[in-house]
Chains A and B, each alone.
Chain A
């Protein structure tokens, strides 16, 4: 069995030969739990939620307070993926990782499990979702695998997550979806990759992928706009995204073509315009053609993108699109807006660490934080 400690050691060893660039900041972080932040106001209140792997290949979702203290955790049958928080911050829902069939609703007031729920027969979750502005509805990205189409399932949060209906995402493989700040528009990242539970995680249409960014009317699911990538980027699966302060959508992709191809991985789209890549392909060398998470800072002026295979976090200026810095951090997957600093981010990694403002907030080498981190 591979241990986390082993992972940590060998990955650090692997990084030994990596050179630094002018933008590559040495992310000098304490490795001692004692160096974690002192007690802050609001401790005892939920601040961060993320899925994790515990020792013995057990999976769970954990809720931490602002000091990084574990408030409670709930077991998951299999690996979890992303968590979404209700607008009143009283509920959270964690989705199973693709092709999972389970979502877990948590009560953040009583620190307890509310319920598990599943999509109807013939569907599975893709791992992301969001609440309606009043918290009454939950939307989840799903695979209607027999009909080979992506959908947004709609659930009634006040009626035990009863299925109410669904919207077509107008593309295959919807992954992350969000409600934009106008509260009227849903943005969906259609990854473009066809999968079926008969062949778990096998990509069935690599030669004919059509990733897209889609905008839907939140009231009725009407298609407002569908944007495709340039033809030469047809194998860049758009997976994760965040809305910047100016209303533009920033996305991160995962490339399915030749690993030696030179490819931009992060782009930006404003309604009615073409997609613009944030930087030339050279900027993304060493990111291993894989962006794991995208988050906007609370002030909306910065975007963070993680590249766990390349052991890097990139921070972007969302206004002018410029790259601000690249941090080197082994197996860093989760990025979320910092509750403390409106311009900063919180970062989690596969070695059980969470960083905030360059400080170690949490560390437990027996666990691995999964791909996404959500802050309240």
Chain B
């Protein structure tokens, strides 16, 4: 990893530019505790649920395009299918951060996105399934009983972009690999359907978030519900920055390991990261946090915009993600984006909770 000290200096510069040091946050008294109930409700109804609905739609569309490829294989159909995968990745990235009850239950998050896949354990299962042409993978009910890495978006990425995927254009109609891809899109749809159902159920997770109180075993008050949303945003920023970007970029282009970031096969790594950031902006806006904490959310927007500009600029280049990490100029720009991402996380993890009166205790955060 790049050394921390210069990063911290740059973070200070970044926060200065964002206006946080400039205006003196400490001079601003925390709000009397606001009413978080409408914020939480708006986040669920205007961001979480529509996000999963878009994922369902994207998976179904991907499935239909794949069906066409399966029935009439050809280079153009394969390209169309691969292009459609981009929409699925964007839709997934918009909901990736919601590691809350329904996504945690029954390993649904891992079913949708088995990452990180250290030692390629999940990938090996997908490869084996394809090489063995296991017919039980073609029925969605049976596929969902198999190990979680074989039924998610990264399994589909391997089907469409992994070794041997080019044969999808020339293989016979209804070949195994293509049918398996269709089955995965159905599994993604089912899993996302279950998540939505568990949110919406009368006794479901949204109900827990909306009806906090002493009798609620999960949320004693609205502040705890609000804290959970700030937690998932913070974790998402940390994951984007540390696990996906910094881990892949390392100290210099020679040391970089592009394949440690997700979606390198489809060359959609930066597209996914960009969609992650967009989803944070949407959630903050949808919940009305911009009204509750205008200055801090404006600073957050500034930090996200700084990182986002780097991603957009690099996405315009013709090189692949892997090539960008090896190119000195691109590596430098991408490394720069870590600074505003750290600034954004600092705002969400520390400054916003403090301002909103939501800071958690030292041991409560993660005592281990």
Contacts and interface: CB of A to CB of B under 8 A. Distances in A.
A48 to B, nearest CB: 16
A1 B101 CA distance: 30
Nearest to B214: A19
A260 B101 contact: yes
Interface string B342-368: 000000001001100111111110111
Interface in A264-278: none
Contacts of A204: 116, 118
Contacts of A9: 357
Contacts of A206: 107, 110
B362 A368 contact: yes
B82 interface: no
Interface in B68-106: 100-102, 104-105
B342 to A, nearest CB: 14
Nearest to A97: B368
B217 A285 contact: yes
Interface string A49-83: 00001000000000000000000000000000100
Interface string A194-212: 0010111110101100000
Interface in B258-299: 260
A198 B361 contact: no
Interface residues of B, number: 44
A61 to B, nearest CB: 15
A350 B363 CA distance: 6
Contacts of A4: 362
B228 to A, nearest CB: 8
Contact of B363 (A6, A239, A259, A370): A370
Instruction: Kindly name the residue among B101, B119, B220 whose own CB sees the greatest number of chain A CB atoms within 10 A.
Output: B220
B221 A14 contact: yes
A349 B220 contact: no
A259 B104 contact: yes
B39 interface: no
B120 interface: no
A333 B205 contact: no
Interface string A166-189: 000000000100000000000000
A260 to B, nearest CB: 5
B218 interface: yes
A286 B220 contact: yes
Contacts of B193: none
B368 A98 contact: yes
B224 A7 contact: no
Given A206-B110, A285-B217, A258 B104 contact: yes
Interface string B18-40: 00000000000010010000000
Contact of B361 (A1, A175, A330): A330
A188 B136 CA distance: 40
Interface in A110-134: 127
A151 B93 CA distance: 37
A7 B361 contact: yes
B243 A308 contact: no
A351 B361 CA distance: 8
B359 A207 contact: no
Nearest to A352: B362
Nearest to B111: A207
Nearest to A285: B217
**Chief secondary structure at chain A's binding surface:** loop
Contacts of A199: 116, 118, 243, 247
Interface string A351-366: 1000000000000000
B188 interface: no
Nearest to A239: B368
A286 B104 CA distance: 19
A346 to B, nearest CB: 15
B260 A198 contact: yes
Which size class do A's interface residues fall under? 35 or more
A18 interface: yes
A261 B366 CA distance: 20
A309 interface: yes
B169 interface: no
Contacts of B105: 257-258, 260-261
Contacts of B247: 198-199
A204 B116 CA distance: 7
Nearest to A148: B119
Contact of A202 (B223, B243, B362, B366): B243
Contacts of B359: 2, 6-7, 10-11
Contacts of B260: 198
A17 B220 contact: yes
Contacts of A18: 214, 220
A308 B367 contact: yes
B148 interface: yes
B361 A308 contact: yes
B363 A286 contact: no
A326 interface: no
A11 B110 CA distance: 33
B249 to A, nearest CB: 13
A196 B116 CA distance: 10
B353 to A, nearest CB: 7
A292 interface: yes
A84 interface: no
A292 B221 contact: no
B239 to A, nearest CB: 8
A331 interface: yes
A259 B130 CA distance: 36
Contacts of B363: 292, 308, 331-333, 349-350, 368-371
A13 interface: yes
B213 A292 contact: no
Nearest to B33: A13
Given A53-B362, A200-B242, A260-B218, A2 B354 contact: yes
6 contacts: A10-B359, A19-B214, A259-B218, A333-B362, A350-B362, A369-B362
Given A260-B101, A349-B363, 11 more contacts: A2-B354, A6-B354, A10-B357, A13-B33, A14-B220, A258-B105, A331-B361, A349-B361, A350-B361, A369-B363, A371-B367
Interface of B: 30, 33, 100-102, 104-105, 107, 110-111, 116, 118-119, 147-148, 205, 208, 213-214, 217-218, 220-221, 223-224, 239, 242-243, 247, 260, 350, 353-354, 357-364, 366-368
Interface of A: 1-2, 4, 6-7, 9-11, 13-14, 17-19, 53, 81, 97-98, 127, 148, 175, 196, 198-202, 204, 206-207, 239, 256-262, 285-286, 290, 292, 308-309, 311, 330-333, 349-351, 368-371
- 3 nearest A-B pairs in the assembled complex, by CB-CB distance: A331-B361, A333-B363, A350-B362
